[in-house]
C-alpha cells in the first residue's frame, strides 16, 4: 500500500535522541546505567515542585488551562514584562516546530549553524523550506557568515546560545556587530535553552534587545537547569503580535497541568537555580581538570555539557562507555566525528566517567 505522504516527510531523517537508560540495561544486560547524553539535571528537581505534584493527581481528569495563566503571571512579574509577550508549549522543541509553522512557506529559507540543535533543520524541511547551514568558525557560530547568507527568501535565523553541541557562547559585542544588518522581516530566534548556566559577563541580554528588535523571539526551556525534562515545558518571549500568531498554531492543550504548575513554582525557586548553577560551574572546572590530566582537548563550555576531542574514532569509545554503563553522545551522530559530548553528572559520575574514558581510549589505541 502506497500512503500519500507529503514529500517533505518522506525526505525527513529520524531524530536520534540520547539512548534511554532502560534500553542500555536491556541491550548490555547491566543493572546500573548513568545517562550523560541529553543534558539533563543531575541534581533533579526543586523540592518545592516535587511536593506540588502529588496533589495534582486528583485533577488529571480535567483539561489544563489552555492559556497557562499562572505561569505567565509569575514570569511576567519576575521579568517585569507584559503577560502577552509570553507563549508556552510542550518543550521548546514543540515551539521550534510552531515557529516554523507560523513563518515558513515552501521554498523559503532559514539560516542556522551547520552544527547546532538539529530540530531547526528538520522543522524547516518539514515546511518544505530550505535549511541553509553555515559552517562553524573555531567551533563557534560564525555570526558574520550567517548574516551574510540572508537573502530575500530568508525568513528565520537561528542563534543557539550557548550552542548545542559545542557549548560556547557568542558575546554581546559579537551580536551587536551583526544585529543591525538583519532585516526586520527576518525572525531572529535566540534559543537560550542553556542560558541559566552561563557565567560569562559577555553573554547578551536578549530581553533588553527585544525592546529594539520586534523581530526577535527568545526561546527558553524548563528541561535543563530547572530539571523538568520529562514534564515538557518550554516558553518564548516576543512581541505581542508574534505571540498572537504563535498562539493560533500551538496545540490548544499543549502544556499539561503538571508541567504548568511545576514550571510556575520552579521559576520562582531562585535558591534551587543558584544551587544548580554553582554546582554546574564547579563540575565544569572539575571535568576540565580531568580532561587535561588525560591529555584531551575540549571546547570551553558555558552550558551543562562539554564537547571533548577523543583523538581518534569516537565509535569504539561510545561502545566501551555503554558496555560500562555510561551513555554519552558520540560525535559521529552530531557531525563531529572524533569528539564526544558529555553532560555533567554528579561529582561521582563525572569522576567515574573520566576514568572509563581514559580506559576506553587506551583500549581503542591498543587495538
Ligand X SMILES: Cc1ncc(COP(=O)(O)O)c(C=O)c1O
Q: Which residues bind ligand X (CB under 6 A)?
A: 39, 91-93, 117, 160, 164, 191, 193, 221, 223, 229, 234
Which CB, 223 or 283, lies closer to ligand X? 223
**Residue 37 and residue 327 in contact, taking contact as beta carbons nearer than 8 Å:** yes
Across the chain, where does the E strand assignment appear? 34-35, 86-89, 109-113, 130-134, 154-160, 187-191, 216-221, 234-238, 298-299, 305-309, 326-327, 329-330, 339-343
Locate 266 and state its grid cell: 520552579
Shortest CB 300 distance to ligand X, Å: 18
Shortest CB 117 distance to ligand X, Å: 4
Which CB, 74 or 193, lies closer to ligand X? 193
363 SS3 class: helix
Which CB, 33 or 219, lies closer to ligand X? 219
Which CB, 64 or 234, lies closer to ligand X? 234
Shortest CB 102 distance to ligand X, Å: 17
Which CB, 191 or 314, lies closer to ligand X? 191
In angstroms and rounded to an integer, the radius of gyration of the C-alpha atoms of the chain is 21
Buried b or exposed e, range 25-42, using 16+ CB within 10 angstroms:
eeeeeeeebbbbbbbbbb
Tell me, what DSSP letter sits at residue 260?
Answer: H
Residue reference for cell 514529500: 7
Shortest CB 119 distance to ligand X, Å: 7
Shortest CB 128 distance to ligand X, Å: 22
Shortest CB 194 distance to ligand X, Å: 7
Q: Are strands 326-327 and 305-309 parallel, antiparallel or unpaired?
A: unpaired
Which CB, 273 or 294, lies closer to ligand X? 273
Integer Cα distance of 212 and 208 in angstroms: 8
CA torsion, points 260, 261, 262, 264, in degrees to nearest 10?
A: 80
| Residue 7 region by backbone torsions, left for phi larger than 0, else alpha for psi between -120 and 50, else beta | alpha
Nearest residue (beta carbon) to ligand X:
91
Q: Are strands 154-160 and 109-113 parallel, antiparallel or unpaired?
A: parallel
Integer Cα distance of 356 and 362 in angstroms: 10
Q: Angle at the Cα of 338 (from 225 to 143), degrees rounded to 5?
A: 60
How far, rounded to the nearest angstrom, does the alpha carbon of residue 135 sit from its chain's CA centroid? 19
Which CB, 109 or 192, lies closer to ligand X? 192
Shortest CB 110 distance to ligand X, Å: 15
Which CB, 164 or 349, lies closer to ligand X? 164
Shortest CB 191 distance to ligand X, Å: 5
Shortest CB 313 distance to ligand X, Å: 25
Residue reference for cell 557568542: 170
Locate 48 and state its grid cell: 518545592
Which CB, 149 or 229, lies closer to ligand X? 229
Which CB, 164 or 350, lies closer to ligand X? 164
Integer Cα distance of 311 and 287 in angstroms: 17
Amino acid at each position: 500500500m502506497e500512503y500519500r505522504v507529503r514529500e517533505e516527510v518522506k525526505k525527513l531523517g529520524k531524530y536520534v535522541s540520547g539512548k534511554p537508560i532502560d534500553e542500555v540495561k536491556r541491550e548490555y544486560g547491566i543493572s546500573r546505567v548513568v545517562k550523560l547524553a541529553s543534558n539533563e539535571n543531575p541534581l533533579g528537581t526543586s523540592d518545592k515542585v516535587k511536593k506540588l505534584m502529588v496533589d495534582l493527581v486528583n485533577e488529571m481528569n480535567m483539561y489544563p488551562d489552555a492559556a497557562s495563566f499562572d505561569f505567565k503571571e509569575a514570569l511576567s512579574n519576575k521579568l517585569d514584562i507584559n503577560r502577552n509577550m509570553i507563549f508556552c508549549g510542550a518543550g521548546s522543541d514543540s515551539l521550534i516546530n510552531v515557529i516554523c509553522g507560523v513563518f515558513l512557506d515552501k521554498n523559503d529559507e532559514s539560516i542556522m549553524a551547520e552544527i547546532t540543535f538539529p530540530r531547526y533543520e528538520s522543522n524547516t524541511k518539514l515546511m518544505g523550506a530550505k535549511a541553509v547551514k553555515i559552517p562553524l568558525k573555531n567551533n563557534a557560530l560564525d555570526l558574520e557568515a550567517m548574516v551574510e547568507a540572508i537573502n530575500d527568501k530568508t525568513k528565520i535565523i537561528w542563534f543557539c546560545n550557548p550552542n548545542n553541541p559545542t557549548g560556547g557562547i557568542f558575546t554581546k559585542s559579537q551580536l551587536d556587530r551583526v544585529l543591525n544588518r538583519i532585516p526586520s522581516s527576518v525572525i531572529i530566534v535566540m534559543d537560550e535553552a542553556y542560558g541559566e548556566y552561563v557565567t560569562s559577563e559577555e553573554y547578551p541580554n536578549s530581553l533588553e534587545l527585544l525592546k529594539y528588535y520586534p523581530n526577535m523571539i527568545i526561546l527558553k526551556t524548563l528541561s535543563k537547569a530547572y530539571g523538568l525534562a520529562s514534564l515538557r515545558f518550554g516558553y518564548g518571549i516576543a512581541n505581542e503580535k508574534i505571540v498572537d500568531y504563535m498562539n493560533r498554531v500551538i496545540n490548544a492543550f499543549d502544556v499539561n497541568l503538571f508541567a504548568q504548575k511545576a514550571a510556575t513554582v520552579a521559576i520562582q525557586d531562585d535558591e534551587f537555580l543558584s544551587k544548580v548553577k554553582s554546582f554546574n560551574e564547579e563540575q565544569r572546572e572539575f571535568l576540565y581538570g580531568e580532561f587535561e590530566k588525560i591529555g584531551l582537548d575540549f571546547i570551553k563550555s558555558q552550558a551543562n555539557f562539554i564537547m571533548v576531542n577523543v583523538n581518534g574514532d569516537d565509535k569504539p569509545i561510545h561502545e566501551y562507555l555503554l558496555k560500562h554503563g555510561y551513555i554519552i553522545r558520540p560525535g559521529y551522530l552530531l557531525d563531529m566525528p572524533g569528539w564526544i559530548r558529555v553532560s555533567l553528572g554528579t561529582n561521582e559520575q563525572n569522576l567515574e566517567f573520566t576514568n572509563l574514558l581514559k580506559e576506553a581510549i587506551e583500549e581503542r589505541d591498543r587495538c
